[in-house]
Chains A and B, each alone.
Chain A
Amino acid sequence: MEIFKADVVIVGGGGAGLRAAIAVAETDPSLKIALVSKVYPMRSHTVAAEGGAAGVKKPTDSYEYHFHDTVGGGDWLCEQDVVEYFVRQAPIELTQLEHWGCPWSRTADGHVNVRAFGGMKIERTWFAADKSGFHILHTLFQTSMKYPSIKRFDEHFCVDLLEDEGRCQGVVVIEMGTGEFSMIEARSVIIATGGAGRVFRESTLGGIVTGDGMALAYRHGVALRDMEFVQYHPTCMPVTGLLFTEACRGEGGILVNKDGYRYLQDYGLGPLQDKPKNKYMELGPRDRLSQAFFFEQQKGRTIEHPTLGSVVHLDLRHLGEAYLRERLPLIYEMAETFMGLDPAKDPIPIRPGVHYTMGGIKVDGNCAASLKGLYAIGECASVGIHGANRLGSNSLTELLVFGKVAGVDAARNAKSLTPGKSASLLKQAEATEQRLLALKTKTGGTERISVIRKEMAQSMEDGCGIYRMENTMQATCDKLSELRQRFKNISIDDKSSVWNTDWLTAIELDYQLDVAQSMAHSAIKRKESRGAHQRLDGFELRDDVNYLKHSEAYYVAGDVPRIAYGDVKITTSQPAARVYGAAGEKADQERKGSHA
């Protein structure tokens, strides 16, 4: 097996991984960085983010506002000290990206422009038309080429972490083009593998979003925190789940039901507004909007489309073609290409789809996990800024802010340690190689990977959707246990070494089943409703007495996860009623009054 000796290894070449790599390189150019990605970095799913990245920009805005929007938006399950750091760093990192060439959209006087987003009190979302993630990712990828100390392992798939003397000391990877295993030694290991939303059926996510890094850390004893909180984005293309950005609403798009009625006014987001008003109506948070769709469907007020199923309409027509082409060009093209309609002339049928994993690998404010030497950043991590519901445009900023934090601390950590014992690490790596080769070469299996994957995804949607109940969640937990057993009997058609995606997909499915279990078991144990975790079986209210807690799922070999609970860090924002629209404005006034 080939051995590569690095100082810092980063698994994942999306926005977070690239930002971390650059931070390590800038902190100390003498450190050797290995950047591992199962796709060429510019294919990473950061590329698909559309709307933008949040950071205080306007003189009327403040860090305090961004903090309160985020903590309230997260239904008070955020780590408030981490959010405080995050909102202060946000504009610095977004400016840094501008210096690196990111083509942020601008005002007529040449400054960076900002747009409105759901749940945000003031416009603070920096955007590059509706391809913000694409531009952030390409800017970071291209900028990373400046640094000779970053050695990329493109199209390399990470299959294990290496641990010795209580520290994480490297990773095992498969070169996808050859099927060869290598070991990468490093004194700091950063996981930046993104989310896990593909465990659900209808999602906005790319095929690569399979929770790899979450499963790797979990199997090494690190907790997955708050995994029950899965975000449904309210405006997705039916069937495929492709995303119509929240910026559609930020720019003035409205949602109507089959009667042409702006139904959000019935769900605590009103009263009706003629013009977009922050934190009202369509500019409410994602969880509330997706939940409103669910009830519209229950009441029979959705549009029943022959092939698309139940939908409501996203109406952009009043914005006009010229404005839509300028601000939402990707959305325009997607509507034309994938749905055969013209958003300047036709309303767009949409429904909610799975979009984001709020939870992830439990890390502290330095992005360090409980396993020494291990860091996690971005969607795979739970650093604590999203709580029970992420606000749109906070996650792109998170990649930058915490990518840098992790990079700087990983560099410091690597410099403070001497290299580990290669022989011991190699032994582990070889054991992993044997285990995975056996998975590929074994014969006589009868289960198809695609069948297990589909059953898992359907079951997650049935049990862990927008609204949840004990019996359906239990059915999902049972189904996942069954699929875990059936996975042992899979058959892999492809026995070759070169580009064996059949085999790699099986390894991904193994990761997905672990992550799905952590979600379903965390969900069934949370007997309250908070943010994106909503129940309809007697636990409809938030219960701060018992559940103002982070869930922590721990891996148990051959069994279901063990669920424990951890404290939530509260600094200045005590839990309060989470209200939007006119009620939200009133609560804001009262809070100001009590501070006066």
Chain B
Amino acid sequence: MPDSQKIIEIEVLRYNPESDKEPHLEVYKVPFSDDMSVLQGAQYIKDHFDGSLTFRWSCRMAICGSCGMMINGIPKLSCETFLRDYYPNRIRIEAMANFPIEKDLVVDLSGFIEKLESIQPYIIPREPRSLDQGEYIQSPEQFNAYIQFTSCINCTLCYAACPQFGLNPDFIGPAAIALLHRYNMDSRDGAAAERMELVAAEEGVFNCSAVGYCSEVCPKHVDPANAVNINKTNAAKDYFLRFLSPKGGSK
């Protein structure tokens, strides 16, 4: 239970498109306890002070990817960020940067979802296999080649961190490229060449200016910057090999 003696001030960027011209900050005084997450702080405000405060959340354990926000200017999952790390100072929470705000802390993710769909995020089998043949065999090396890139929870914190996405919303961006790389590196898949067109396209990897902030904020250590980098090399290689072979150089 929150200790009623201690209070933390939470400053929230509020925006209701039906009544506000511009987003504005409001401050709430929330009873503080050591174990409270930032998400619980927001829930306290909604439950006790203002039911109209709007934010996405669900699992509370950093796996559903819903509750990303800017916390003192840094993109974080609010469920695994704790008020104790800010107390007794005031903390500011705002909608994720680089996305249009729909209301309060809720941003428009439809562009991100379209990017996910665009990269063909599914196995296009290198060698089709029937169910009665059982599973594909993957050696530990083959497994390790892609497993890290399967860990993305689609929280989009990397987009909130990416300066290039901020400048060009069409950039397919860190998470989608990491997922593309995940399928390209999977020994079951045979469609890397198809996906290469998108990698090298105008909205592809060459937008990246190698800041690496995406990997820094990733709560699941996916290291999307690494995936982007590898694909820059792949795309460059592919470009040169196209001169030698009309089919291109992708595997």
Please give the residue numbers on chain A whose beta carbons come within 8 Å of chain B beta carbons, in ascending order. Answer: 39-40, 42-45, 47-48, 92, 95-96, 98-101, 103-104, 106, 108-112, 131, 134-135, 138, 142-143, 145-146, 154, 177, 206-208, 239-240, 242-243, 307, 330, 333-334, 337-338, 448-450, 492-494, 496-502, 505
Contact = CB atoms under 8 A, between A and B. Distances in A.
B247 interface: no
A101 B183 contact: yes
Contacts, number: 153
B87 interface: no
B48 A45 contact: no
Contacts of A39: 56, 58, 64, 66
B236 interface: no
Contacts of A48: 59, 61, 63-64
A336 to B, nearest CB: 10
Contacts of B57: 207
A154 B108 CA distance: 12
A128 B60 CA distance: 21
B246 interface: no
A437 B62 CA distance: 34
B86 interface: no
Interface string B16-51: 111100000000000000110000000000111011
Interface string B132-160: 00111111101100110011011000000
Interface of B: 16-19, 34-35, 46-48, 50-52, 54-66, 80, 102-104, 106, 109, 113, 116-117, 120-123, 125, 129, 131, 134-140, 142-143, 146-147, 150-151, 153-154, 179, 183, 186, 188-189
Nearest to A179: B18
Contact of B131 (A96, A135, A138, A337): A96
Contacts of A208: 58
Contact of B51 (A96, A143, A493): A493
Given A103-B150, A492-B51, A134 B183 contact: no
Contacts of B137: 109-111
A242 B61 contact: yes
Contacts of A502: 46, 51-52
A510 B18 CA distance: 27
B51 A494 contact: yes
A499 B188 CA distance: 41
B115 to A, nearest CB: 11
Contacts of A499: 54, 102-104, 106
B97 to A, nearest CB: 19
18 contacts: A39-B66, A40-B113, A42-B153, A43-B59, A47-B64, A48-B61, A96-B131, A98-B135, A101-B123, A110-B138, A110-B142, A154-B113, A243-B61, A337-B80, A493-B51, A494-B51, A494-B52, A505-B51
Contacts of A448: 47, 51
Contacts of A43: 56, 58-59, 64-66
Contacts of A135: 150
Contacts of A96: 131
Contacts of B140: 106, 108, 110
A219 to B, nearest CB: 24
A501 B59 contact: no
Nearest to B48: A450
Which 6 A-B pairs rank lowest in CB-CB distance, beginning with the nearest?
A493-B51, A494-B52, A450-B47, A206-B58, A502-B51, A110-B137
Contacts of B142: 110
B33 to A, nearest CB: 8
A45 B135 contact: no
Nearest to A105: B143
A207 B58 contact: yes
Max chain A C-beta neighbours (<10 A), residue from B59, B65, B143:
B59
A379 B221 CA distance: 31
Contacts of B122: 100-101, 142-143, 145-146
B153 A207 contact: no
A354 to B, nearest CB: 14
A450 B147 CA distance: 41
Given A143-B122, A493-B52, A134 B147 contact: no
A571 B116 CA distance: 47
A39 B59 CA distance: 12
A206 B59 CA distance: 4
Scoring A43, A337, A449, A500 by chain B CB atoms within 10 A of each residue's CB, the highest score goes to A43
A339 B153 CA distance: 22
B58 A45 contact: yes
Contacts of B62: 333-334, 337
Nearest to B106: A499
A47 B67 CA distance: 14
Contacts of A100: 122-123
A95 B51 contact: no
A146 B18 CA distance: 37
Given A39-B66, A48-B63, A499-B106, A103 B147 contact: yes
Contacts of A206: 58-60, 64
Given A101-B183, A138-B150, A338-B80, A496 B121 contact: no
A134 B137 CA distance: 22
Nearest to A307: B35
A496 B16 contact: yes
Nearest to A126: B135
Contacts of A243: 61
Contacts of B113: 40, 154
Contacts of B59: 43, 45, 47-48, 206
A100 B101 CA distance: 35
Nearest to B154: A42
Given A40-B113, A108-B140, A134 B52 contact: no
Given A307-B35, A330-B63, 19 more contacts: A39-B58, A40-B109, A96-B131, A98-B136, A100-B123, A101-B189, A108-B140, A131-B63, A131-B151, A134-B153, A145-B121, A206-B60, A206-B64, A492-B51, A494-B54, A497-B18, A499-B104, A499-B106, A502-B52
A103 B183 CA distance: 11
A92 B188 contact: no
Contacts of A101: 122-123, 183, 186, 188-189
Nearest to B139: A110
Contacts of B103: 496, 498-499
A500 B150 CA distance: 33
A452 to B, nearest CB: 11
Contacts of B17: 498
A207 B60 contact: yes
Contacts of A496: 16, 18-19, 52, 103
B137 to A, nearest CB: 4
A106 B64 contact: no
A50 to B, nearest CB: 9
A100 B109 CA distance: 25
A51 to B, nearest CB: 14
Contacts of A240: 60
Given A145-B117, A493-B51, A494-B51, A95 B135 contact: yes
A108 B54 CA distance: 48
Contacts of A450: 46-48, 51
Q: Which of A108, A333, A334, A498 gathers most chain B CB within 10 Å? A: A498
A334 B113 CA distance: 28
